[in-house]
């Protein structure tokens, strides 16, 4: 039971950390709950589909189907996270001000919420398909004690969900003034980590050049296999022995998002304040 609890918890934790950050980053956008739940449901449906066709998926792309598929959905998530961050760069300050003044949900953020719902769906799909395959395997094996293992798996899901909630509540404790700066930073790191992971997946299958294997080795400090190591991978794309292209993709994504947000904020700063501020004749 403990073994299956740990296996499932590790997978759900990785998705849960991403969802916790997305929830905090989208605070104050109206109609958010529906988008988040929609993302989770779509992700679960996708996870079951991927689990059903796992064998078929593997045969695609000359036996590299799993890696190519994972890299592709990671790239979609990177674009969606990037889109949200740039959207927040132009709307975040105004949102925070309005939330402070009115203490209610503001801003029509439909397009940004769609992007974040896609991110949630992808996070659930990626880790969920592994959980589905694992739990299904237990359910059909009918070995002695499979009930306890199934219970362990369900506890693992609850544990991962609880961790996600704790992270979300913890982030909400940040004062509104800083909340969106902090979440934008976390979202940029998430995106950079995913871009790095996608590049590494493709490079290990020789689809992209590696630009050097194991640039450094920090496994003595934090190994990829440990629970903390896996959390660091999910949050910022940590790898104990990164590839050259992985580091390049990580830095490039982070730079594009940080500089892009700065450019947008500067261009807004130069423009006259919003139209409502100017009295109309």
Partner 1 sequence: MRNGIFRSHSLLPALLGAAVVGLPHLALADAMQTYHLTLEDHTFLPSHLEVPANTHFLIEVTNKDGTTAEFESYDMKFEKIVVGQGHVTAHAGPLPAGTYKFFDDYHPEATGTLTAVAPKE
Distance in angstroms between the alpha carbons of the first and the last residue of the chain = 72
Task: Specify the 3-state DSSP secondary structure of 225.
Answer: coil
Is residue 152 a contact partner of residue 5, using CB atoms and an 8 Å limit? yes
Decide: is 55 part of the binding site for partner 1 (CB under 8 A). yes
The answer to whether residue 255 forms part of the interface with partner 1 (CB under 8 A) is no
SS3 content of the chain, % helix, strand, coil (to 5): 80, 0, 20
Question: Binding mask 234-253 vs partner 1 (x if CB under 8 A, - otherwise)?
Answer: -----x-x------------
CB atoms within 10 A of CB 281: 3
Question: Does residue 63 belong to the site contacting partner 1 (CB under 8 A)?
Answer: yes
Residue 76 is a binding residue for partner 1 (CB under 8 A): no
Q: Does 223 bind partner 1 (CB under 8 A)?
A: yes
Interface with partner 1, residue 218, by CB under 8 A: no
Among 133, 155, 222, 258, binds partner 1 (CB under 8 A): 133
Is the Cβ of residue 30 or residue 66 nearer to partner 1 in the bound state? 66
Q: Is 214 in the site for partner 1 (CB under 8 A)?
A: yes
**Considering only residues 148, 207, 222, 236, which one is a binding residue for partner 1 as defined by CB under 8 A?**
207
Q: Any contact of residue 31 with partner 1 (CB under 8 A)?
A: no
Q: Considering the rule CB under 8 A, would residue 49 count as an interface residue with partner 1?
A: no
Using a 10 angstrom Cβ sphere, with 0-12 exposed, 13-18 middle and 19 or more buried, the burial of residue 246 is: buried
**Binding to partner 1 by residue 98, rule CB under 8 A?**
no
* Nearer CB in complex with partner 1: 153/159: 153
Choices 20-28, 56-64, 164-172, 181-189; region in contact with partner 1 by CB under 8 A? 56-64
Name the DSSP letter for residue 206.
T
Does residue 136 touch partner 1 according to CB under 8 A?
A: yes
Q: How far is CA 246 from the centre of its chain?
A: 17
- Please identify which residue in 208, 231, 254, 257 interacts with partner 1, judged by CB under 8 A: 208
Q: Determine which helix (DSSP H) or strand (DSSP E) holds 246, and give its type and residue range.
A: helix 244-270
Stretch of 21-29, 115-123, 159-167, 221-229 lying at the interface with partner 1 (CB under 8 A):
221-229
Q: Which is nearer to partner 1, 113 or 208 (CB)?
A: 208
Q: Which residues of 191-214 are buried (b: 16+ CB within 10 A; e: fewer)?
A: bbbbbbbbbbbbbebeebebeeee
> Segment near partner 1 (CB under 8 A), from 41-49, 98-106, 168-176, 207-215?
207-215
Q: CB of 111 within 8 A of CB of 6?
A: no
DSSP letter for 173, please.
T
Helices vs strands, H then E, count in the chain: 9, 0
DSSP assignment of 2-42: HHHHHHHHHHHHHHHHHHHHHHHHTTTBTTHHHHHHHHHHH
Binder among 200, 232, 235, 257 for partner 1 (CB under 8 A): 200
For the bound state, the minimum distance from the C-beta of residue 72 to partner 1, rounded and expressed in Å, comes to 13
Q: Give the separation between CA 4 and CA 32, rounded to whole angstroms.
A: 33
Binding residues vs partner 1 (CB under 8 A): 3, 7, 54-55, 58, 62-64, 66, 130, 133-134, 136-137, 140-141, 200, 202-209, 213-214, 223-225, 239, 241, 260, 263-264, 267
């Amino acid at each position: 039971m403990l073994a299956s609890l740990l296996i499932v918890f590790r997978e759900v934790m990785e998705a849960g950390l991403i969802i916790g950050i997305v929830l905090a980053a989208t605070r104050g956008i109206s109609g958010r709950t529906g988008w988040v739940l929609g993302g989770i449901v779509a992700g679960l449906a996708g996870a079951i589909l991927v689990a059903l066709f796992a064998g078929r998926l593997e045969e695609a792309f000359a036996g590299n189907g799993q890696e190519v598929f994972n890299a592709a959905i990671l790239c979609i998530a990177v674009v969606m996270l990037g889109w949200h961050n740039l959207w927040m760069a132009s709307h975040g300050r105004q949102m925070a001000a309005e939330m402070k003044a009115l203490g209610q949900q503001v801003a029509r953020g439909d397009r940004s919420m769609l992007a974040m719902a896609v991110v949630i769906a992808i996070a659930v799909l990626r880790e969920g398909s592994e959980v589905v395959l694992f739990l299904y395997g237990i359910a059909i094996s009918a070995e002695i004690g499979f009930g306890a293992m199934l219970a362990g798996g369900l506890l693992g899901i609850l544990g991962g969900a609880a961790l996600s909630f704790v992270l979300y509540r913890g982030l909400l404790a940040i004062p509104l003034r800083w909340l969106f700066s902090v979440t934008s930073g976390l979202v940029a790191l998430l995106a950079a980590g995913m871009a790095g992971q996608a590049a590494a997946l493709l490079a290990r299958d020789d689809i992209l050049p590696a630009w050097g294997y194991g640039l450094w080795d920090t496994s003595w400090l934090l190994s990829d296999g440990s629970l903390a190591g896996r959390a660091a991978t999910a949050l910022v794309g940590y790898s104990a022995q990164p590839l050259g292209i992985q580091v390049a993709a990580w830095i490039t994504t982070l730079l594009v998002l940080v500089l892009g947000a700065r450019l947008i904020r500067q261009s807004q700063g130069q423009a006259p304040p919003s139209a409502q501020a100017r009295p109309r004749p």
